[in-house]
Amino acid sequence: MRATKTAVAGGLLGLGLVLAASGALGHGDVQPQPVKTDGLKPLGTEWLAENPYKGDAHAISIGASGFNQNCARCHGLEMISGGLAPDLRYLPQGKEGDEYFVERMKHGAVINGVTKMPVFDGLISQEGLWAIRSYIESKHEE
Ligand code: HEC
């Protein structure tokens, strides 16, 4: 059972949550690169439900470098996936995509007990992650 790149359905999300709760989550081999978020409004530690920086040009440029340093090796440079991981240009826009994004940052991706994507929540600040989300949304395609 392999999720398709457009699988944003609750079923997939539920599976991820169950796996995370069962302790199957490893650490992965990630070496997170800090994302410098100078000039962005500070957000605190509590996760927001929606991207506070949506459409903000400064956030998008911070997010572009954050993405290229932390996500591109799987999701592709400039977000054009080479097929190892979903092409994020097709992630839904707006709140639906935001919520899905946050769940992924909190839980990563574990498939058959193997960590395919690490948890980024706690490794990169909320500001840095929403900046990356802003970049992703700026490249959205239908
Ligand atoms: C080690 C490889 C790897 C890295 C690094 C990685 N990802 Fe992923 N990511 C994956 C894989 C593989 C999946 C698909 C998992 C699945 O099929 O359920 C995925 C899924 C996702 C999804 C869900 C996409 C969808 O259509 O279902 C989002 C959102 C996402 N990643 C965002 C990110 C962001 C943002 C970063 C950087 C902060 C990142 N990923 C870093 C491998 C990675």
Q: Map out the domains of the chain with their CATH numbers.
A: 10-25+48-138 (1.10.760.10)
Q: Tell whether ligand 1 has an atom less than 6 A from the beta carbon of residue 79.
A: no
> Could you list the pLDDT tens digit for every one of the 142 residues in the chain?
444 444 444 444 444 444 433 333 344 556 788 899 999 999 998 999 999 999 999 999 999 999 999 999 999 998 998 888 999 999 999 999 999 999 999 999 999 999 999 999 999 999 999 999 999 999 999 9
Encoded tokens for 106: 């909190």
Nearest-CA residue for ligand 1 atom 17 is 3
Q: What is the pLDDT of residue 15?
A: 44
Which residues have CB under 8 Å from 51's CB, separation 6+?
Answer: 98, 101, 130, 133, 134, 137
Pocket test for ligand 1, best of 74, 81, 132 (most atoms within 8 A of CB): 74
For residue 118, how far is its CA from the centre of ligand 1 (angstroms)? 8
> Which has the closest alpha carbon to 51: 109, 110, 91?
91
- The per-residue pLDDT for range 44-74, each reduced to its tens digit, is 989 999 999 999 999 999 999 999 999 999 9
pTM of the model: 0.83
68: Cβ contacts below 8 Å, ≥ 6 apart: 77, 78
Closest listed residue to residue 90, CA positions, set 43, 137, 141, 45: 141
The per-residue pLDDT for 103 is: 97
Other residues' Cβ atoms within 10 Å of the Cβ of residue 18: 11
Angle, helix 126-138 to helix 57-70, in steps of 10 degrees: 100
Q: Is 3 in the pocket of ligand 1 (CB under 6 A)?
A: yes
Q: At 115, give phi and psi (nearest 5°).
A: -80, 110
